[in-house]
Amino acid sequence: MEHGVDLTDADRAVLLGLPRRSRRVAAKQDLIREGDPCEAVHLLLEGLACRYKVLPNGATQILALLIPGDFCHLHSAILDQADHSVRTLTPCVIVELPHATIFSLLEHPRIARGLWWSSLVDEAILREWLTGMGQRDAEERLAHLLCEMLARMQAVGLAVANTYSFPVNQIELGEILGMTTVHANRSLQQLRNAGLVSYGNKRVEILDLNRLQELCGYDAKYLHLQRDR
Amino acid sequence: MEHGVDLTDADRAVLLGLPRRSRRVAAKQDLIREGDPCEAVHLLLEGLACRYKVLPNGATQILALLIPGDFCHLHSAILDQADHSVRTLTPCVIVELPHATIFSLLEHPRIARGLWWSSLVDEAILREWLTGMGQRDAEERLAHLLCEMLARMQAVGLAVANTYSFPVNQIELGEILGMTTVHANRSLQQLRNAGLVSYGNKRVEILDLNRLQELCGYDAKYLHLQRDR
DNA sequence: CGAAGTGTTGAAGCAAATCAATTTTCGTGG
DNA sequence: CCACGAAAATTGATTTGCTTCAACACTTCG
């Protein structure tokens, strides 16, 4: 949150003082299912999760990747029912915050601003994904995703030297990128053969960030991680 | 906003009492350009506008259609610079609200909730578009768009008997749906030939809503227009 | 050690892109 | 009111990026 707004020590104290009943969840478990009535807000502390939708024909689209520090379902404070599902991709640790807690946080102007910022950044990422899905080809989309995840992992201190943990199998990779597993595999090989990335053992290493960014026209501004004011 | 939250007469009075300097803007004009520093929030009163991004290679993706009652750039109150552009598709009437006005509205809990609701619905629509772009074919995407616009136009009283104004040319239609103009044209003809829609003179008429919805697996829940609590 | 999940490869088919031409519609001025 | 030019819509022929289907190899783990 501090990437988006300036918090005071008092604000930090409020956040750190929240009652925290953290919970472990196994991999591949739904945290929220589309259509569920909205109950608590979840905050991801450890692990990797995703938002997704399943169409009547069974086709699955992953809509967002959630990394530590992300809210899983801030929407639930306002909307009546979930319009998409959320599931863990790896074992995760999450905190559940009752709606009353969220509304009490809104009393603190800078924290309220931070929550709003977080929701707007989610939206900005969604716009970037939509742009890619409409206008970028398979290789560019994959390259863009790997650049984005590097930036986001760096922002929360989970990337070292252009390397980060990315425990996503190729089925899921296809569901993220809107393509088949087979084609995700082939796109990955293109990037590997070009010497741009190495991806094995659930870890991504970006070997040539400049060329990778150039390949997909990456510009990190949409992540709004620099605070200019 | 009243589709999402219950406002009191006092809330309505606050909103109606805002200083309103409305402004006319011609068609095909940028209201906000990507990279602009964020200044005021715009509210669309009349006409049709869109959010869009342009990639380095010139490819354009339209990210959202804005109809009367929509905010053009609520983000600007929090984010430092615009990560996408907004332009009018037809002549429009807009109101500019200074950030100070927005922040003063946040003092009113139900209005604050309404602004938040509005932003979350934008996000929900974005998720639905992303799902379609990844998983639906051209004909289904077009059908889904026409269903969505019918529901949204009805919600603001701008649709009569399954007919609404939709002054979008086929170049723009392609930019919305992430396909070429030629293919947008052919997809439209499929729907016309199936007797599902009529689309001419900048107006859409849904001839068989049930079959059209069935074709694309449409489910309006994501628009969150029913208030259940 | 075997079974299930995951990753990789090949061949064939198809939806959508591309390229290019033609027709229709529409706004504008004579 | 018609003539004209530009914009928009439509059509056809060809190419291509991605899907589909199927087989096979590798890894992981109970």
pLDDT digits (tens, 9 = 90+) for A12-40: 999 999 888 899 999 999 999 999 998 88
- The pLDDT assigned to B168 comes to 97
Determine contact: B2 vs chain A, CB below 8 A: no
Q: What angle do CA A145, A150, A151 make, to 5 degrees?
A: 100
**A174 DSSP β-pair partners:** none
> In this complex, do B127 and A126 lie within 8 Å of one another by their Cβ atoms?
yes
- In the β-sheet with B22-25, what is the strand arrangement from edge to edge? B22-25, B92-97, B41-46
CB B63 within 8 A of CB B104: no
Could you identify the residue written with the tokens 């988006």?
Answer: A4
Q: In this structure, are residues B196 and B215 in contact, taking their beta carbons and an 8 Å threshold?
A: yes
User: β-strands A60-66, A159-160: how paired?
Assistant: unpaired
CA-nearest of B219, B148, B127 to A51 is: B127
Statement: the CB of A57 is under 7 Å from strand D: no
Angle ∠(A152,B117,B141) on CA atoms, nearest 5:
75
* CB-neighbour burial class of residue B229 (10 A; exposed 0-12, middle 13-18, buried 19+): exposed
Question: CB of residue A182 closer than 7 A to nucleic acid strand C?
Answer: yes
Parallel, antiparallel or unpaired: strands A163-165 and A41-46: unpaired
Q: How far apart are CA A122 and CA A124, in angstroms?
A: 5
Do A7 and A105 contact (CB within 8 A), yes or no? Answer: no
CA angle (A178, A181, A186) in 5-degree steps:
100
Q: What is the pTM of this model?
A: 0.96
CA of B210 to C1' of D6 (A): 39
Q: Which residue is nearest to nucleotide D12 (CA to C1')?
A: B182
Residues A119-126: what's their mean pLDDT? 96
Instruction: With cut-offs at 50, 70 and 90, classify the pLDDT of residue A229.
Output: very low
Instruction: Report the nucleotide nearest the CA of residue A167, measured to C1'.
Output: C6
Identify from A6, A41, A61 which residue to disrupt to test chain B contact, counting B C-beta atoms within 10 A and taking the largest count.
A61
3-state secondary structure (DSSP) of residue B114? helix
Q: How far apart are CA B195 and CA B185, in angstroms?
A: 16
Q: Which residue is nearest to nucleotide D27 (CA to C1')?
A: A201
In order of A126, A129, A151, B84, the CA distances from A222 in angstroms are: 10, 11, 11, 8
Chain A touched by B133 (CB under 8 Å): yes
- Residue-level pLDDT at B91: 95
pLDDT at A201: 84
The separation, in Å, between residue A176 CA and nucleotide D26 C1' comes to 24
A33 and chain B in contact, CB less than 8 A: no
A140 CB-side CA count, 13 A: 18
- What CA–CA distances, in Å, run from A56 to A123, B125, B192? 25, 18, 24
Task: Give the per-residue pLDDT at A185.
Answer: 97
Mutation for testing the A interface, residue in B5, B54, B61, B115 having most A CBs under 10 Å: B61
Closest nucleotide (CA of B184 to C1')? C16
> pLDDT tens digits, residue range B115-173?
989 999 999 999 999 999 999 999 999 999 999 999 999 999 999 999 999 999 999 99
- Name the helix (H) or strand (E) containing A60: strand A60-66
pLDDT value at residue B228: 57
Shortest CA to C1' contact from A183: nucleotide:
D18
Decide if pLDDT at B229 tops 50.
Answer: no
pLDDT tens figures, B57-101:
999 999 999 999 999 988 888 898 999 999 999 999 999 999 999
**B41 phi, psi to nearest 5 deg:** -90, 135
Mean pLDDT check: name the lowest of A70-74, A154-158, B202-206: A70-74
Length A98 CA → D29 C1' (Å): 39
Phi, psi angle pair for B135, to nearest 5°: -125, -15
Q: Which residues contact B49 (CB under 8 A, 6 or more apart)?
A: B31, B65, B66, B72, B86, B87, B88, B89, B92
